[in-house]
Amino acid sequence: MKILVTGAAGFIGFNLISKLLTIPKVEIVGLDVINDYYDINLKYARLAIHGIDAKVLVKNDFQISKVFGNYRFIMADLADHEFIVDFMVNEKFDYVVNLAAQAGVRYSIDNPRAYTHSNINGFLSILEGARFSKVKHLIYASTSSVYGLNSKMPLSERQPTEHPMSLYSATKKANELMAHTYSHLFGLPTTGLRFFTVYGPWGRPDMALFLFADAILNGNPIKVFNNGDMIRDFTYVEDIVEAIQRLIFKPPSADSKWDGNDPKSDSSSCPYKIFNIGNSNPVKLNDYIFALELALGRKAEKIFMEIQKGDVVATHAETSSLESFIDFKPKTSIEDGVKKFVQWYLNYKK
Give the pLDDT score at 217.
95
Catalytic residue among 107, 140, 168, 236: 168
Over range 31-40, report the average pLDDT.
94
DSSP state for residue 195 in the 8-state scheme: E
Instruction: Of 303, 107, 124, give the one whose Cα is nearest residue 223.
Output: 303
CA dist., res. 255 & res. 144, Å (int): 23
Residue type at position 51: G
Residue type at position 183: S
Contacts (Cβ under 8 Å, ≥6 apart) of 286: 224, 228, 229
Which tens digits make up the pLDDT trace of 63-77? 999 999 999 999 999
Which tens digits make up the pLDDT trace of 185-195? 999 999 999 99
Over range 90-106, report the average pLDDT.
93
CA dist., res. 59 & res. 222, Å (int): 38
168 is catalytic: yes
pTM, 2 dp: 0.96
Beta bridge partners of 32: 75
CATH superfamily of 2-204+233-280+317-330: NAD(P)-binding Rossmann-like Domain (3.40.50.720)
Please tell me whether the peptide bond between 160 and the residue prior to it is cis, using omega within 30 degrees of 0: no
